Amino acid sequence: MPARPLHAAWALGNQPAIESFIGRVDVVHGTNFVVPPTRKAGAVVSVHDLTPIHFPELCNAATLAYPDLIRRAIARGAWVHTDSEFVANEVRSAFAVDPERVVAVPPGVPDLPAGSPRGPSSTTERLLPAGTTRYILAIGTAEPRKDLPGLVRAFDQVAADHVDQADLALCLAGPAGWGEDALTAAIAHSPHSSRIVRTGWVSDQELADLLLGAAVLAYPSVYEGFGFPPLQAMQAGTPVVATRAGSLPEVLGEAAALVPVGQPDELAAALSNVLGNSDYRQQLITAGHAQAARYQWAACGEGLARLYRQVDEAKHG
């Protein structure tokens, strides 16, 4: 069934129960903020972040409905799964839930196809401005939480402060979103707009090529519950500059250059340091490989299996 009618029904009551669709099960896991009501099965709901509580102005209508659905699930006895301890602690503070029923199990790093050898590829030659030899990469939907306009302003400083970097570009990879107007305006006002490219949605192969070719990944989020792109960059051997937003300090550790949220000057300084300091760049690359290796899907599967057994034991004895 389509999600929206079900979400509307579950926001009002506990019907239809999941067993109506799939029969008897022991545990049901709703992997994206919503878990169906159950008759007898245990329930787990994944909460990836609390953006609609902390930053409602950054959300759309569908996302704003999540907190009430989470509260109803917890009231029905659901356990909560999070990707990070940071979000687990936020859930414990924001909802009336037994702290022991909130369990962090981090995911693995999403696999990508094997990319081209590091450096130019058919993808970068096709997508980037002519004459580009180095580029700063950002990955994500153009939504306010990603603060891509702030990255554009930081790039303006990097480009202006380094006259010998006329070959440097900013590549924004990801689809349009509800932050489109602000990003379009920031690019239009940039004196270096000819060196800024938006790719739109990219395939997994194109993403792999972009990550391998980038000089640095910039991740200037206002808030994050986990953050896959920085770990994918680390896995690819690309250094990362990110904000100290939400769970990013926990997830990235000391393997990224971290800067305050919403400070284009400091973001620009960190990007310039990575671009211009080869020793520091190599330090981040080495630390990044080790950090990304900590997040394995096998460990995620084992952690979720343990959680399911806990839920089943609590529900059925």
What are 192's two structure tokens? 């270096």
Q: Which residue in 263, 215, 272 sits closest to 239, CA to CA?
A: 215
145 and 219 both lie in a single domain: yes
What are 234's two structure tokens? 């680390």
257 and 307 both lie in a single domain: no
134 and 183 both lie in a single domain: yes
Residue burial 232-253, b: 16+ Cβ < 10 Å; e: rest: bbbbbbbbbbbbebbbbebbbe
46 and 80 both lie in a single domain: yes
163 and 256 both lie in a single domain: yes
The pLDDT value given to residue 163: 58
Three-class SS of residue 151? Answer: helix
Residue 113 covered by a domain = no
305 and 287 both lie in a single domain: no
303 and 204 both lie in a single domain: no
Q: How many domains does the chain have?
A: 2
Residue 156 covered by a domain = yes
Q: How far, in Å, are 44, 51, 94 from residue 87 at the CA level?
A: 15, 10, 10
The pLDDT value given to residue 290: 98
Q: Which amino acid is at 134?
A: R
Question: Could you tell me the sign of the dihedral formed by the alpha carbons of 259, 264, 265, 268, in that order?
Answer: positive
The pLDDT value given to residue 120: 66
The whole domain housing 263 covers 122-292
Contact 14, 8 (CB under 8 A): no
CATH number at residue 91: 3.40.50.2000
Three-class SS of residue 27? Answer: strand
97 and 142 both lie in a single domain: no
The alpha carbons of the chain give a radius of gyration, in whole angstroms, of: 21
127 and 210 both lie in a single domain: yes
Contact 69, 95 (CB under 8 A): no
Q: How far, in Å, are 44, 171, 184, 215 from residue 150 at the CA level?
A: 37, 14, 12, 19
Contacts of 257 (CB under 8 A, 6+ apart): 239, 240, 241, 242, 270, 273, 274, 284
150 and 270 both lie in a single domain: yes
Q: Where are the beta strands (DSSP E) in the chain?
A: 27-30, 42-46, 79-82, 102-104, 134-139, 168-173, 196-200, 216-219, 240-243, 257-259
3-state secondary structure 163-210: HHHCCEEEEEEECCCCCHHHHHHHHHCCCCHHHEEEEECCCHHHHHHH
Beta bridge partners of 168: 134
Residue 148 covered by a domain = yes
Residue 309 covered by a domain = yes
The pLDDT value given to residue 107: 97
77 and 159 both lie in a single domain: no
23 and 62 both lie in a single domain: yes
Contacts of 189 (CB under 8 A, 6+ apart): none
Per-residue pLDDT of the chain (317 residues; tens, 9 = 90+): 777 788 788 877 788 888 988 999 999 999 999 899 999 999 999 999 999 999 998 887 878 889 998 999 999 999 999 999 999 999 999 999 999 999 999 999 998 887 666 666 788 888 888 888 899 999 999 999 999 999 999 999 999 886 566 689 999 999 998 889 999 999 999 999 999 999 999 999 999 999 999 999 999 999 999 999 999 999 999 999 999 999 999 999 999 999 999 999 999 999 999 999 999 999 999 999 999 999 999 999 999 999 999 999 999 88
